Chain A
Amino acid sequence: MLSAFHRIIARIRAVFQRAGSDRDLEFELEAHVQLLTEDHILRGTLRGEAERLARIELGGVYQLQESHREIRALPFLDTLRQDLRYTFRTLKQNPGFTAFAILIIGAGVGASSTIFSVVNTLLLRPLPLHDSRQLVWIYNLADDGVSD
């Protein structure tokens, strides 16, 4: 389904254009209320009452904006983006802790990769020979059965 593909691309892009799209919707909803109000006035309602009716007919703006965001973007990506921003903000406020955390992670990664490279060459990788099972170890035994 091509339309489903278009939609998922649009939703991923929408995650990064949140402010603009929110503003557009707000603008659209406001225009809607104005048009609806004017229609009510033409039908003989007083201005204040007309606007009240218009807002009722449109429905709750905050719920609409929230549902609009859920449909327009990807809620889980949006949450993830917010969490990441919060994380970086907290880290920036506490540079000592950040430096220490980076140091610990660096040491951990360094140690693990060193150990792995040793294990990899010694135990995991096959010998670089054509048929390594034919490889034999030749040594001499002294008369008493002990090697040299």
Chain B
Amino acid sequence: MPENKSEILQGTLDLMVLQTLQAMGPLHGYGIARRIEQVSKEALQVNQGTIYLCLVRLVQKKWIKAEWGISENNRKARFYSISKAGQKQLAAETENWQRVAGTIARLLQWEGPK
């Protein structure tokens, strides 16, 4: 198993999608997948289709909204945008994530009693 490619936890993908929509505004599924790939510098391997599984869950939770629109190549596409509830969730999740990451970082830095 390759060591440098992390498996994505489900909750993490939710968080990444919410943050992407918050930062970039309305996007279609392909745009979201593309953006996440770019930002992660392809260190995170997402099967691009799984983004739609994440999106349907987020829509059902009313954290994002879906609307039909026209894509940049003049095709009908579904655009997703973050909702008020989604922004609140994003803020809460961000704080939680940073707290966990901080704890882990401190734990890993600690080299034992000298």
Contact = CB atoms under 8 A, between A and B. Distances in A.
B52 A3 contact: no
A3 B56 contact: no
Interface string B3-46: 00000000000000000000000001110011000000000000
A31 B61 contact: no
Contacts of A68: 52-53, 56
A31 to B, nearest CB: 5
Interface SS of chain A: helix
Interface string B37-72: 000000000011110110011011111000000010
B71 A64 contact: no
A64 B75 CA distance: 22
B44 to A, nearest CB: 14
B61 A3 contact: yes
Contacts of B52: 25, 28-29, 64, 68
Interface-centre pick from B48, B49, B77, B85 (highest chain A CB count, 10 A): B49
A31 B75 CA distance: 7
A58 B57 contact: no
A27 B78 CA distance: 9
A57 interface: yes
Given A2-B85, A7-B61, A31-B28, A59 B76 contact: no
Contact of B30 (A7, A14, A25, A35): A35
A47 to B, nearest CB: 14
Nearest to A67: B53
Interface string A21-45: 0001101110110111011000000
B48 A11 contact: no
A31 B53 contact: no
B61 A59 contact: no
Given A7-B60, A28-B29, A58-B48, 4 more contacts: A27-B78, A59-B49, A64-B53, A68-B56
Interface of B: 28-30, 33-34, 47-50, 52-53, 56-57, 59-63, 71, 73, 75-78, 85, 89
8 contacts: A24-B78, A27-B76, A31-B28, A31-B76, A34-B73, A57-B47, A64-B49, A72-B56
Pairs A-B, 8 closest by C-beta atoms? A10-B60, A3-B61, A59-B49, A59-B47, A7-B60, A64-B49, A35-B30, A6-B62
